[in-house]
Amino acid sequence: MSEPRSSRIRWHVLVFLAPAVIVYTAVMIFPLFNTLRLALFTEIEQQRVFVGLQNFKTLFGDAIWSEQFWNALGNNFWFFFIHMIVQNPIGVLLAAILSHPRLRFAHLYRSAIFIPTILSFVIVGFAWKLILSPIWGIAPSMLDAVGLKSLYAPWLGKEEYALTTLALVSVWQFVGIPMMLIYAALLSIPEEILEAGECDGITGMSAFWKIKLPLILPSIGIISILTFVGNFNAFDLIYAAQGALAGPDFSTDILGTFLYRTFFGFQLQLGDPHMGSAIATAMFVIILIGVCIYLFGIQTRLRRYQF
30 versus 70: smaller Cβ distance to other proteins: 30
List 58, 236, 298, 299, residue binding other proteins (CB under 8 A): 236
Please count the residues of this chain forming the interface with other proteins, following the rule CB under 8 A: 95
Taking alpha carbons only, the member of 271, 281, 274 closest to residue 47 is 274
84 versus 90: smaller Cβ distance to other proteins: 90
78 versus 109: smaller Cβ distance to other proteins: 109
Q: Does 110 bind other proteins (CB under 8 A)?
A: yes
List 1, 64, 146, 270, residue binding other proteins (CB under 8 A): 1
114 versus 152: smaller Cβ distance to other proteins: 114
From the list 7-15, 50-58, 64-72, 151-159, the region that binds other proteins by CB under 8 A is 7-15
Q: Which long-range contacts does 79-85 make (Cβ < 8 Å, 24+ apart)? A: 79/163, 79/166, 79/167, 79/170, 79/231, 79/234, 79/254, 80/227, 80/228, 80/231, 80/232, 82/164, 82/167, 82/168, 82/171, 83/167, 83/170, 83/171, 83/174, 83/227, 83/231, 84/224, 84/227
List 49, 81, 89, 120, residue binding other proteins (CB under 8 A): 120
Burial of 174 (0-12, 13-18, 19+ CB in 10 A): buried
Taking alpha carbons only, the member of 122, 153, 116, 81 closest to residue 238 is 122
Site for other proteins in 246-285 (CB under 8 A): 256, 259-260, 263-264, 273, 276-277, 280, 283-284
How far is the C-alpha of 287 from the C-alpha of 228, rounded, in Å?
8
Quick one: DSSP state of residue 100?
S
25 versus 85: smaller Cβ distance to other proteins: 25
Q: Does 199 bind other proteins (CB under 8 A)?
A: no
**Phi and psi, residue 138, nearest 5°:** -70, -50
Q: Least distance from C-beta 117 to other proteins, angstroms?
A: 8
Q: Does 305 bind other proteins (CB under 8 A)?
A: no
Site for other proteins in 16-75 (CB under 8 A): 16-17, 19-21, 23-24, 26-32, 34-35, 38
